[in-house]
Structure 1
Amino acid sequence: MNHLLPIEKRNAVLNRMAFLLEQERKSIQAINQQDLSNYSGDDLAMEKRLLVDDAKIDAMILSLQQLSSQEDPVGKLRFDFTHENGMKIHNKTAAFGTVLIIYESRPDVTVEAGGIAFKSGNKILLKGGKESLLSNLKIVSLWHQALTDNGISSSWVEYLNYDRAETQAFLEKPTQKVDLIVPRGGENLIAFVKKHASCPVIVSGRGNNFVYVHPEADLDQALAVIINGKTSNISVCNALDKVLIDVNLPNWEAFASKIVSELQQKKVTVLGDESISKATSVPQIESDLIWYEEFLDYKIVIGTVNSNQEAIDKINKYCGGHSASIITKNNAVAQEFMENVDTAAVYQNASTRFTDGGQFGLGGELAISTDKLHQRGPIGLQHLVTNKWYIYGNGQVR
């Protein structure tokens, strides 16, 4: 096991890494262009995630600066108790040890997730996708430089350049101790890791997020939230895929038509259930199975419900457990919705696009968990810890 690095050392490495990213900005982008020209796929979302532009490098640098300024998540007292025999019992946060991050196409994860895991006292194993190999290797070489510049072994950050078969073999029989695995990517990747892993996995899950427009909605707000949720970035798990309109909304057909035309102007393919299709002439969905789908594309499904309870039931049946929003001026109805919808993040009158570590004040995130153990929603620095009991005695026996 690696000895826990003092917090001063961990912060010094993060700050040095931020400096090196700025210094090597042009070189990183040039190498990333090679990855982009090698990528022949036609997956728009994938290509968007693969690109490293100035804005992405700015975000990487900012995330490292924010991380270095945050307090140490390790060694925090969570519980203390003095036994009647005089023993002092403390429970404190502790590092996991070694964290493996498996991800697709996003070179910024090499910085941001690596930074969170390193700051929380862990050795990092990075397994990126083949499409971003050159960008990732360049960024890992900067991690190694930041470590060695501070007199720390470069083995704290390791890149696993494995194909699928090698990855499977490593998951089933790791050649070194791995304490936690975080897969970041599509459903296939997550299923693959869960199937083969021999240690705990945090599932950074799918989206398939819903907005429910209640009869007491501010319709301008509803429209803005839907357009933002669907069109501001299609390639992210907090994007919007489904809209439910309450048929008790006055003139709901006119409102539905307005949403459809705004979305179509933004090149979004709109499908509807039977009543929406009748009201707006959009194509009708072929089967209810589409309610389960996450699109990651310019595509959306709109349906109708008859009550808050029906909206809750439908969301709980179909959603990915990520995010759901109710648009209403009625706070009591909103509270009922928010308490009963089973997603990691629930909203009133706001876009699902805010389910993000940076937006939630976490200074970035390792993943957005749709599991309920051991943390749900965006996983920031303070969540990437386990715990440990410390007992201080002077000879007590039981």
Structure 2
Amino acid sequence: MNTLLSIETRNAVLLKMATLLERERAAIIAINKGDLEAYDGDDISMYDRLKVNDAKVDEMIASVTHLASQEDPVGVERFSFKHDNGMQVYNKTASFGTVLIIYESRPDVTVEAAGIAFKSGNKILLKGGKESTKSNLKIVALWHEALQTYGASTEWVEYLQYNRTETQAFLEKPTQQVDLIVPRGGERLIAFVKQHATCPVIVSGRGNNFVYVHKAADQQIALDVIENAKTAKISACNALDKVLIDKNLPNKEVFIKTLIAKLKAFEVQILGDETLAAYDEVEAIQSDAIWYQEFLDFKIAIAEIDSTQEAIAMINKYSGGHSSSIITTNENEAKVFMENVDTAAVYHNASTRFTDGGQLGLGGELAISTDKLHQRGPIGLQHLVTNKWYVHGNGQIR
């Protein structure tokens, strides 16, 4: 186990990483072009996540720079108690130790996840997808240069170039201590990790997010939110897949026709229940199984619904437990919806696209957890810690 580095060293390494990312900007983008050219799949969301351009490098630099400015998450006192016998008891945050993150196609995760783990005093093992190997190895080399600049071991950030069989073997019989595993990717990856892991796993789950347009909705807000959440970034787990429309919405036909036109401008495939399928350009839903699906594509499913209670029941049955939003001017309906929908993030009159560590004030995220233990939603710097009891005595015995 590596000895915890001082906060000054951790911050200096992060700022050095920002400088190196700027210095190597052109090289990173050029190397990433090689990964993009070698990618032979037809998954547009995978390709989108794999691509590194100037804007992505800017985000990487902003991420490590911001991390360096944040308070140390390790050693924060959470509770204190003076025992009758004079012992002084404290509970403080502590690093996990070693965190393994398994992810697909996103070279920016190699910066952000490693940065969050390192700042919170954890060693990180990075297991990226084969499609982004060249980009990832370049970024890890920069981490090692940043660490060495301040005399820190390169073991703090380690890249595991494993295929599926080697990954399974490592999960089942780790060749080094692993305290926490975070799989970031599709449902197949998550199921694979949960099946084989021998230590705790934080599930960074699927999206399949819902927007409910209540009868008292501001219809312009509803149109804007649905368009943004569906079309702004289809590869994101916070993108929108399902829309439920209150059957008592005023001027409902005009609203639905306007919504269809807006979505069709982005060439979104629209699936609808019996009522919606009567409209032009909407295909009938063939099976209820569609409600469980996360699309990660220009595709949406829309249904009419009788009430807020029915919307809550439907979301709780089908959604991925990630994000859901109600569009309404009725504060009480919003309160009922937000308290009873069982998703990590609930919204009132806003897009689901904000479920993101940076957008919710955490400065960045390791993953977005749809588990309820130990942290739900975006996992930021302050969540990548466990806790430890510090008890000071002078000979007390029980």
TM-score in terms of structure 2 length: 0.99
CA contact (8 A) 2:271 2:284 kept: yes
Q: After TM superposition, give the deviation of residue 256 of structure 1 in Å.
A: 1.3
Matched residue type, 1:231? T
Q: After TM superposition, give the deviation of residue 34 of structure 1 in Å.
A: 0.6
Once residues 331 and 84 of structure 2 are traced to their aligned partners in structure 1, the CA distance between those partners, rounded to angstroms, is 48
Once residues 321 and 280 of structure 1 are traced to their aligned partners in structure 2, the CA distance between those partners, rounded to angstroms, is 32
Equivalent position SS for 1:234: coil
Superposed CA offset, 1:151-179 (max 9, x none): 11111111000000000000000000000
Q: How does 1:174-189 map to 2 (within 5 A)?
A: 174-189=174-189
Q: After TM superposition, give the deviation of residue 338 of structure 1 in Å.
A: 0.1
Match of residue 67 from structure 1? 67
Q: After TM superposition, give the deviation of residue 258 of structure 1 in Å.
A: 1.3
Equivalent position SS for 1:192: helix
Q: How does 1:325-336 map to 2 (within 5 A)?
A: 325-336=325-336
Matched residue type, 2:13? V
Q: After TM superposition, give the deviation of residue 254 of structure 1 in Å.
A: 2.2
Matched residue type, 2:86? G
Superposed CA offset, 1:262-316 (max 9, x none): 1011110001001111245611100111000000000000001100100000000
Q: Which runs of 5+ in 2 are unaligned?
A: none
Q: After TM superposition, give the deviation of residue 251 of structure 1 in Å.
A: 2.4
Equivalent position SS for 2:284: coil
Equivalent position SS for 2:237: coil
Match of residue 368 from structure 2? 368
Match of residue 117 from structure 2? 117
Once residues 311 and 156 of structure 2 are traced to their aligned partners in structure 1, the CA distance between those partners, rounded to angstroms, is 47
Equivalent position SS for 1:387: strand
Match of residue 284 from structure 1? 284
Matched residue type, 2:160? L
Once residues 192 and 294 of structure 2 are traced to their aligned partners in structure 1, the CA distance between those partners, rounded to angstroms, is 18
CA contact (8 A) 1:253 1:279 kept: no
Match of residue 387 from structure 1? 387
Q: After TM superposition, give the deviation of residue 257 of structure 1 in Å.
A: 1.6
Equivalent position SS for 1:100: strand
Q: After TM superposition, give the deviation of residue 134 of structure 1 in Å.
A: 0.4
CA RMSD for the aligned pairs? 0.7
Aligned CA distance change for structure 1 residues 52 and 233 (closer, same or farther; 3 Å): same
Alignment pair present for 1:76 and 2:76: yes
CA contact (8 A) 1:79 1:90 kept: yes
Match of residue 315 from structure 1? 315
Once residues 135 and 283 of structure 1 are traced to their aligned partners in structure 2, the CA distance between those partners, rounded to angstroms, is 40
Once residues 279 and 299 of structure 1 are traced to their aligned partners in structure 2, the CA distance between those partners, rounded to angstroms, is 16
TM-score in terms of structure 1 length: 0.99
Match of residue 237 from structure 1? 237
Superposed CA offset, 1:26-51 (max 9, x none): 11111111111111111100111111
Match of residue 202 from structure 1? 202
Matched-pair identity in %: 71
Superposed CA offset, 1:193-218 (max 9, x none): 01000000111100000000001000
Equivalent position SS for 2:109: helix
Matched residue type, 1:216? A
Superposed CA offset, 1:126-160 (max 9, x none): 00000000000000000000000111111111100
CA contact (8 A) 1:253 1:280 kept: no
Matched residue type, 1:397? I
Once residues 147 and 94 of structure 2 are traced to their aligned partners in structure 1, the CA distance between those partners, rounded to angstroms, is 22
Once residues 323 and 293 of structure 1 are traced to their aligned partners in structure 2, the CA distance between those partners, rounded to angstroms, is 14
Matched residue type, 1:32? N
CA contact (8 A) 2:35 2:132 kept: yes
Matched residue type, 1:161? Q
CA contact (8 A) 2:270 2:281 kept: no
Once residues 108 and 250 of structure 2 are traced to their aligned partners in structure 1, the CA distance between those partners, rounded to angstroms, is 46
Once residues 257 and 290 of structure 1 are traced to their aligned partners in structure 2, the CA distance between those partners, rounded to angstroms, is 22
Q: How does 1:155-304 map to 2 (within 5 A)?
A: 155-280=155-280, 282-304=282-304
Once residues 58 and 218 of structure 2 are traced to their aligned partners in structure 1, the CA distance between those partners, rounded to angstroms, is 36
Once residues 324 and 49 of structure 2 are traced to their aligned partners in structure 1, the CA distance between those partners, rounded to angstroms, is 24
CA contact (8 A) 1:256 1:280 kept: no
Q: After TM superposition, give the deviation of residue 261 of structure 1 in Å.
A: 1.4
Match of residue 396 from structure 1? 396
Equivalent position SS for 2:325: strand
Once residues 281 and 366 of structure 1 are traced to their aligned partners in structure 2, the CA distance between those partners, rounded to angstroms, is 39
Alignment pair present for 1:6 and 2:6: yes
Q: After TM superposition, give the deviation of residue 250 of structure 1 in Å.
A: 1.4
Superposed CA offset, 1:233-271 (max 9, x none): 000000000000000111222211211111011110001
Equivalent position SS for 1:102: strand
Equivalent position SS for 1:274: coil
Aligned CA distance change for structure 1 residues 261 and 354 (closer, same or farther; 3 Å): same
Once residues 151 and 281 of structure 2 are traced to their aligned partners in structure 1, the CA distance between those partners, rounded to angstroms, is 66
Once residues 8 and 195 of structure 1 are traced to their aligned partners in structure 2, the CA distance between those partners, rounded to angstroms, is 39
Equivalent position SS for 2:191: helix
CA contact (8 A) 2:241 2:299 kept: yes
Once residues 223 and 280 of structure 2 are traced to their aligned partners in structure 1, the CA distance between those partners, rounded to angstroms, is 16
Superposed CA offset, 1:63-109 (max 9, x none): 00000000000000111111111111110000000011110000000
CA contact (8 A) 1:112 1:365 kept: yes
Matched residue type, 1:105? S
CA contact (8 A) 1:124 1:158 kept: yes
CA contact (8 A) 1:272 1:285 kept: yes
Matched residue type, 1:380? G
Match of residue 340 from structure 2? 340
Once residues 106 and 142 of structure 2 are traced to their aligned partners in structure 1, the CA distance between those partners, rounded to angstroms, is 17
Once residues 71 and 364 of structure 1 are traced to their aligned partners in structure 2, the CA distance between those partners, rounded to angstroms, is 14
